[in-house]
Amino acid sequence: MEENRIAHIGIIVENPDAVQCINNILHDYAEFVIGRMGIPYRKEKISIISVVLDAPQNISSSIAGKIGMLNGVQVKTIYSKTIQTSGGEND
C-alpha cells in the first residue's frame, strides 16, 4: 500500500491570470483533493486559496511545485505527521 499524508497547500495569487491555470492543475489531481476554499481579498486585489489533500507526499509536492511556478503565485505546503494508507473509507 502506498503511504499518504494529509497536506495543506496555502496559495496567494497576485496575478488574476494565473487562477485558471491553478484550477486546471487542481482538476488534474482532483482524486487527491479533500477540499478547497478560495477567498478573494478585493481590497488588496489578491486571492487566497487553501487546498487540503490526502495524497502521497510526492504528489502533493508536485502539485505545489506546478502551482508555485506560475507567475504572481506564492505557495507553501505543510504536512501531517500521520501517514495514511491509500484507499478510502471502505477499505
- The 3-class secondary structure across 24-51, one letter per residue, is HHHHHCHHHEEEEEEEEECCCCEEEEEE
How many Cβ atoms from other residues are within 10 Å of residue 60's Cβ? 24
- Superfamily (CATH) of domain 3-84: ACT-like. Chain A, domain 2 (3.30.70.1150)
The residues, any chain, with a CB within 8 Å of residue 13's CB and separated by 6 or more, are 19, 22, 46, 47, 48, 49, 72, 73
| Confidence at 30, pLDDT banded by 50, 70, 90 | very high
Phi/psi for 18 (5° steps) reads: -85, -15
pTM: 0.85
Measured distance CA(84)–CA(64) in Å, rounded: 20
| Confidence at 27, pLDDT banded by 50, 70, 90 | very high
